[in-house]
Chain A
Amino acid sequence: QQPVQSPQAVILREGEDAVINCSSSKALYSVHWYRQKHGEAPVFLMILLKGGEQKGHEKISASFNEKKQQSSLYLTASQLSYSGTYFCGTEIGAGGTSYGKLTFGQGTILTVHP
């Protein structure tokens, strides 16, 4: 089942902060975050694993609440280059083995103005 992202869209001024949320109804093995600019391929930002491990770019932070099956992506001191559509991709573990099969949310459009 597709995870639900909120908000659907965010408009910011440079330097402002934003939080994007991703919620699943199923128990998750991991949550992946990607950013996609118009006409381009999605680009990896962050992986959050069951058990609390986080791996990703230094300027991006995120959290994963395993009890609630929710993840949040924190964008601080936004820059013009942050504009794009952010997708969370969720993975349901199969017997503890990860194959990387992702189900993506519908996306959150982030627009940063000067």
Chain B
Amino acid sequence: DTGVSQDPRHKITKRGQNVTFRCDPISEHNRLYWYRQTLGQGPEFLTYFQNEAQLEKSRLLSDRFSAERPKGSFSTLEIQRTEQGDSAMYLCASSHPGQGYGNEQFFGPGTRLTVL
């Protein structure tokens, strides 16, 4: 088991461009979460999936953000028409209620987005 992986690790883009991030959860973890973290703050919930179903999306997210988890495996997070305020670390986490301690979330290394 190699843990949660995210790609790319760093992304620099110009304002107005679209970006897409990928998250590969731990194998067989049926829950997948996306968070955003800015410097000096805790992770902020964006959205989460149970298998392929997106159960909730934060009201803080604009329509420029979309996430998918086809076939309940990897997930992608797309940001359209990026703004400088989107600059942050985007973290992915996965969990399986029937394993380990229950709902503990295993985080990936994150994708650091810088919008110029």
Contacts and interface: CB of A to CB of B under 8 A. Distances in A.
B42 A55 contact: no
A34 B37 CA distance: 14
Interface stretch (A12-20, A41-49, A65-73): A41-49
Interface residues of B, number: 27
A47 B107 contact: no
Categorize the interface residue count of chain A.
20 to 34
A49 B97 CA distance: 13
B50 A87 contact: no
A30 interface: yes
A49 B101 CA distance: 11
A7 interface: no
Contact of A87 (B4, B42, B45): B42
B54 to A, nearest CB: 12
Contacts of A103: 45
A47 B102 contact: yes
Interface of B: 4, 31, 33, 35, 40-45, 48, 50, 55-56, 91, 95, 97, 101-110
